Structure 1
Amino acid sequence: MFDAHRADVAVVGAGIIGVACALQLARQGRQVVLIDQQAPGMGASYGNAGHLATEQVFPIADLSILKRLPAMLLDPMGPLRLDWKYLPSALPWFARLLFNLGPTHYQRTVAGIRALNEDSQAAWQRLLHNIGRPGLLREEGSLLVYERANSRAALETLQRRMQQQNVPLEFWPGDAIRQVAPHLSDRVQGGLFFPGTGHFLDPYQVVCELVDAAKACGVQFLTRQVRNGRVEADGVTLDTDQGAFSARQVLIACGAHSAKLTAALTGKKVPLDTERGYHLMLPHERERLPFAVTSLERKFIMTPMAGGLRLAGTVEFAGLERPANMQRAWQLHRLSQGLFRQDLSAQDATPWMGFRPSLPDSLPIIDRVCEGKVLLAFGHQHLGLTQAAVTAEWVAQLASTDRRGAELPALGPYRLDRF
């Protein structure tokens, strides 16, 4: 039987980030236990868009959100929605978001996202190579397409902004796009191709493969609900629904559910909210696209996977408690109509909703606090899959007793004490 008092690190959260971190920590020779109230990968890691989004170096919002706010409140099917009933709870978070849209803070955010993204693809290559499954990731690029002539100016503006951030990209005219994606309709006039991106054939399988590798390295997986915790002289004690146990260190990596435990262990209240994301899986459309394609005007992404074509997108702010509005998932199919020469089949389609953990400056918290007893890795918003492997490498460095966070200056923008 596992003796929790002998654990070196207890990882709370069995999503893609928690599992990747647990594996990296175990490879250092540490005894690791990973705890979650549900099976690994069954949260946001199960239903993400599967896109290795290294090109997405800008935060989730800019000053144009002020112009869109009325539409957010009025359109229940819009790409960006704020639930009326959740508005009072969300106002402090949105106030912080608007504060972070000032030039200095905005540039700091972009630099922080870019620093993580720039090594994300290489980190995934290292991780998948180490578990012998490089084929889970297709590094064939991705496209952002536009349809309306008056969208060309917006695309060119985005192109210039991305080039300023050294994002690799190419402009492709409509004919060039249809040469590689012949099912797309003539309405597509052109787009930006991002060669430094890719997509995962099955995000949930990625988690499962990492779980198998972690178990082979000795990681113990416990199905428990962590209710509270406290930092003590020799480590951290966690209170669960099946009793208390201790470890020398704890890593909080439970995504949108991380705020409560962080407050209990560190005394810090973090402004963590959730972007509720939806997807619709079309099992009969595996061959429609060669790689992920995003629509500039329609604001959603389509990713080819082993199980079909996944339509994903939309951001909904409604908290953790309100039930999912699956009409938002089905709306993704309606959004796809007209993008293809022949409309996509929704036969046997399955909808899904998950919680993306989001902080108002669009940066995650990656840190080591409480004299190294508490490690933090959460708040990656819609870039959790993209940044999971590089986050795991950084966390493994932070956990080492012979290395200190001060030796990793790149962690500055992600520290807990910025709030």
Structure 2
Amino acid sequence: MLLGEHANTARHEAIRASGPATDTPDIAVVGAGIIGVACALRLARQGLRVVVIDQQDPGRGASFGNAGHLATEQVFPIADLSILKRLPGMLMDPMGPLRLDWRYLPRALPWFTRLLLNLRAAPFQRTVSGLRALNESSLGAWHRLLKDIARPDLLRQDGSLLVFEHPDSRQAIEALQARMQHQQVPVDYWSATSVRETAPQLSERIQGGLFFPQTGHFLDPYRVVCELVEAAKTSGVHFLKQQVLGAHLQADGVSLITDHGPLTAHRVLIASGAHSAKLTAALTGKQVPLDTERGYHLMLPHEQERLPFAVTSLERKFIMTPMADGLRLAGTVEFAGLERPAAMERAWQLHRLSAGLFTRDLNAQAATPWMGFRPSLPDSLPIIDRVCDGKVLLAFGHQHLGLTQAAVTAELIAQIALPATAPLSDGLPALEPYRLDRF
């Protein structure tokens, strides 16, 4: 579900669903976001008959409105122990950067309890190792995927910058730099002078920051999905605009129940983001502790030349990414489930947060707000796996790293979908940290 999006008719028509396949597909991919589409393309390029099913047009979920940042530097869990001190503020401040709707608290408490348990030393290290392995492979995987569809121009590998404003934040920045270096994340400290030499429109308030050279950003995340869809169609992938209501295993495959009737495939890939838990439970019997980070953005169409790359504020806790259609402000997180209406004031709050970060305030004329759902598991790792005798593949739970990890996830899914006798690719992460049976 998307709210407040600025529609682009030409792009919308470019990815209209094609007709159904006549033969039983080898794999039915449930979910037409960036991960599902990238996986479908990889699977089709291996010669498999693939159908993609989603109740929305491709790319109209969280993939439409993400921050566009290829965040390979983010190797730590989505929260730390300070969340305990912040809990009262999360409940009381509707405009805070991390918000927990008090009405959702009873449902969220078990998930947050598991999150806190995963911050103990051993599970914390497993999370960091798992995130590192995916992120270190992500940039190369994206270059391969974009080269494969002849669109390397969609990605800018210009790095990204985390800035701070208050002198007393320097200690936190230096501590973060040390933690990043310990995890072998490429990072450089930039002085205030270096920041303004590269991004002269940032204000004199900026004291310095950390520059991450092995990161990048997409000029238009939705366009990336569109291009992958077109490449997938060329490779024989069929797209069906249907809602999957249920599923069950059969002797020769999987039967999906949709609002257009039953659909049978030899295998199914569940890649439907925050909506993946119900179908996973139906097919595997496993109740996955999947929750959703409701993310907001504000798109500023008159701010196309403000920044050379993505810039994040340490104190204000949001990111600004330059795109083809303007400057996207993103980063706020809300835990309120899948049902409650969007609080679009949180999107507009991002513009207020930007005040004072530039020599001239950002122009919010004709700005468009958006909200979408990021699928999150309490150990901050996705599920990428092959279960039920190979009939069920899983690729969901990437939290706010779905765009970053989509290409490498597609390579992993393509690898485990191969027959057991096929050689495995070198350089991809081991699957063990992402298995379903860890829950």
**TM-score band, normalised by the shorter chain?**
over 0.9
Q: What is the number of residues matched between the two proteins?
A: 419
1:416 aligns with 2:436: yes
* 2:247 aligned counterpart, secondary structure: strand
* 2:77 aligned counterpart, secondary structure: coil
- Partner deviation per Cα, 1:357-401 (whole Å, 9 max, x = no partner): 000000000000000000000000000000000000000011112
* 2:110 aligned counterpart, secondary structure: helix
Return the alpha-carbon distance in structure 2 between the equivalents of residues 7 and 385 of structure 1.
26
The 1:4–1:317 alpha-carbon spacing in structure 2 relative to 1, beyond 3 Å, is farther
Q: Pick from 111, 115, 140: which aligns with 1:93?
A: 111
The 1:409–1:155 alpha-carbon spacing in structure 2 relative to 1, beyond 3 Å, is closer
Scaled by the length of structure 2, the TM-score of the pair is: 0.94
Q: Pick from 365, 381, 396: which aligns with 1:378?
A: 396
Residue 3 of structure 1: CA displacement? 4.3
Residue 91 of structure 1: CA displacement? 0.7
Q: Pick from 320, 327, 331: which aligns with 1:313?
A: 331
Q: Pick from 68, 73, 77: which aligns with 1:59?
A: 77
Runs of 4+ aligned residues of structure 1 deviating over 4 Å after TM superposition are 403-409
Residue 410 of structure 1: CA displacement? 1.1
Which residue in the other structure is 2:365 paired with? 347
Return the alpha-carbon distance in structure 2 between the equivalents of residues 54 and 179 of structure 1.
24
Q: Say whether the 8 Å CA contact 1:4–1:246 is kept in structure 2.
A: no
* 2:431 aligned counterpart, secondary structure: helix
Residue 90 of structure 1: CA displacement? 0.5
Q: Say whether the 8 Å CA contact 1:367–1:405 is kept in structure 2.
A: no
* 1:7 aligned counterpart, secondary structure: coil
- Partner deviation per Cα, 1:107-158 (whole Å, 9 max, x = no partner): 1000000000001000000000010000000000000000000000001110
Q: Say whether the 8 Å CA contact 1:16–1:385 is kept in structure 2.
A: yes
Return the alpha-carbon distance in structure 2 between the equivalents of residues 14 and 171 of structure 1.
39
Which residue in the other structure is 2:345 paired with? 327
Scaled by the length of structure 1, the TM-score of the pair is: 0.98
Amino acid at match of 1:385: L
Structural RMSD (CA): 1.3
Return the alpha-carbon distance in structure 1 between the equivalents of residues 107 and 422 of structure 2.
37
Q: Pick from 388, 409, 413: which aligns with 2:406?
A: 388
1:283 aligns with 2:283: no
Amino acid at match of 2:437: D
1:134 aligns with 2:143: no
Q: Pick from 147, 150, 156: which aligns with 2:165?
A: 147
Residue 409 of structure 1: CA displacement? 7.4
* 2:340 aligned counterpart, secondary structure: coil
Which residue in the other structure is 2:5 paired with? none
Which residue in the other structure is 1:239 paired with? 257
Which residue in the other structure is 2:209 paired with? 191
Return the alpha-carbon distance in structure 2 between the equivalents of residues 291 and 409 of structure 1.
28
Amino acid at match of 1:370: C
Residue 402 of structure 1: CA displacement? 2.5
Q: Say whether the 8 Å CA contact 2:149–2:231 is kept in structure 1.
A: yes
- Partner deviation per Cα, 1:306-361 (whole Å, 9 max, x = no partner): 00000001110000000000000000000000000000000000000000000000
Mean CA deviation greater in 2-11 or 53-62: 2-11
Which residue in the other structure is 2:236 paired with? 218
Which residue in the other structure is 1:125 paired with? 143
1:175 aligns with 2:193: yes
* 2:88 aligned counterpart, secondary structure: helix
Amino acid at match of 2:369: P
The 1:55–1:308 alpha-carbon spacing in structure 2 relative to 1, beyond 3 Å, is same
Return the alpha-carbon distance in structure 2 between the equivalents of residues 164 and 173 of structure 1.
21
Q: Percent identity?
A: 74
| Unaligned 5+ runs, structure 1 | none
Return the alpha-carbon distance in structure 2 between the equivalents of residues 337 and 280 of structure 1.
14
Q: Say whether the 8 Å CA contact 1:4–1:247 is kept in structure 2.
A: no
